[in-house]
Amino acid sequence: MAISRSDVAKVASLARLELSNVELDTMTRDLQGIVGFISSLDELDTSGVEPLAHPLGTQNVFREDIPTDSLSLSEALQSAPRHDGKYFLVPAVLGETGSA
């Protein structure tokens, strides 16, 4: 599957990465090369093979519903680029909230 410049632009938008025109060209070239390289996987017949997402197959790891200390308000905000002492601040978000 060849990746086109407009594909790359769409991906950049999905990934929230601003790319200049020059960068878009370079990125397209780079990704074409890498995707071409990766496509060697198509040489392998993997029908009937189960995907391996977790290397060691652990299961059923839980914790008990017991409260632990939260960060203080100042600790929670300490790394924030902008805050008002109570909230994180971002440029205005209008319209509906996100998904859930």
Footprint (CB under 8 A) of another protein, residues 20-59: 27, 30-31, 33-35, 37-44, 46, 49-56, 58-59
> How many CA atoms are closer than 13 Å to the CA of 50, on its beta-carbon side?
5
88 in contact with another protein (CB under 8 A): yes
The distance of closest approach from Cβ of residue 96 to another protein in the complex, given in angstroms and rounded to an integer, is: 5
- What 8-state DSSP symbol labels residue 83? B
The distance of closest approach from Cβ of residue 89 to another protein in the complex, given in angstroms and rounded to an integer, is: 4
Give the burial class of 3: count Cβ atoms within 10 A of its Cβ; 0-12 exposed, 13-18 middle, 19 or more buried. middle
Q: Which of 2, 21, 22, 95 binds another protein (CB under 8 A)?
A: 95
The distance of closest approach from Cβ of residue 11 to another protein in the complex, given in angstroms and rounded to an integer, is: 5
7 in contact with another protein (CB under 8 A): yes
Q: Which of 2, 14, 21, 22 binds another protein (CB under 8 A)?
A: 14
96 in contact with another protein (CB under 8 A): yes
Give the burial class of 31: count Cβ atoms within 10 A of its Cβ; 0-12 exposed, 13-18 middle, 19 or more buried. middle
Task: State the Cα–Cα distance between residues 97 and 100, nearest whole angstrom.
Answer: 8
